Amino acid sequence: MKNTVHYVLILDQSGSMQSLKEVTISSFNEQIDSIRGLVRKEPDTEVKVTLCVFNEDVEMRMVAADIDQVVRLSGRNYRPDSCTALYDAMGITMLTMQETVQPTDKVFLAIFTDGHENASQRYSLADVVHKLESAKANGWNIRFYCSTYDLDHFRESLQLNQENMFGISLNEEGMNLANNSMKSVMYDMIRRK
C-alpha cells in the first residue's frame, strides 16, 4: 500500500503580495521540483497537491493533483491584487480536503499570508478555528506562515500552538526561510512511513 501525503497550500494572492510576487512564484516551483525529486527516491509514496490562491475571491487551482500533474506558477497565473479573504480560503480548502483525504493519508496544511483578513463572506473566525481543531484531531500537520509582526495575533485568534506558527520578514530572505521550512516538513512526511 502506498504512503499518501497531501501537500495543501493556501496562498495569499492579495494586492500586498505584489512586492513578493517573483519570490513567491519561484519558491512554489522550487518546492514542487524538490518534492518530485523526493518522490522519485521513495517509490512507495505518492504526493497529492492542493493549491488554493486567494484575494477577495477564493480559487481552488488544483485538488489532490498528482505531483507530476502540478502546473507551475508564473506571472500569468499568479497575479496579486485586491483584498484578503483569508477565512474563506481556509474554510473552503479545509472542507474540500475533509471530503478528499482518506483516514490513512498524511496531510501538510500550509497557510501563507502577508496580511489580515478583510474580505471573507462565507466563513467566520469561529468557523475556521473549529475546522482547524478538527484537522489537528485528524493528525494534520499545520503550519501558518505570516509576518513576524502578526505572529501573536494569528496564534491567539486561530488558537494555534507555537509549533504551528512560522513568522518571517516579508522579503526575499523571509520567503526563502518559509520555503525551506515547507520543504523540510514535506521531506519528513515523505520519508516517514
For residue range 28-46, list pLDDT tens digits in order. 999 999 999 999 999 999 9
Residue 144's CB: how many other CB atoms inside 10 A? Answer: 22
Termini Cα distance of the chain: 11
Domain boundaries, the chain: 3-191
- In whole angstroms, give the CA distance from residue 156 to residue 144: 12
3-191 fold: Rossmann fold (3.40.50)
Three-class DSSP category at 84: coil
pLDDT tens string 55-82: 999 999 999 999 999 999 999 999 999 9
pLDDT tens string 23-32: 999 999 999 9
pLDDT tens string 8-26: 999 999 999 999 999 999 9
pLDDT tens string 103-146: 999 999 999 999 999 999 999 999 999 999 999 999 999 999 99
Q: Taking the CA atoms of 64, 68, 73 and 74 in sequence, report the sign of the dihedral they define.
A: negative
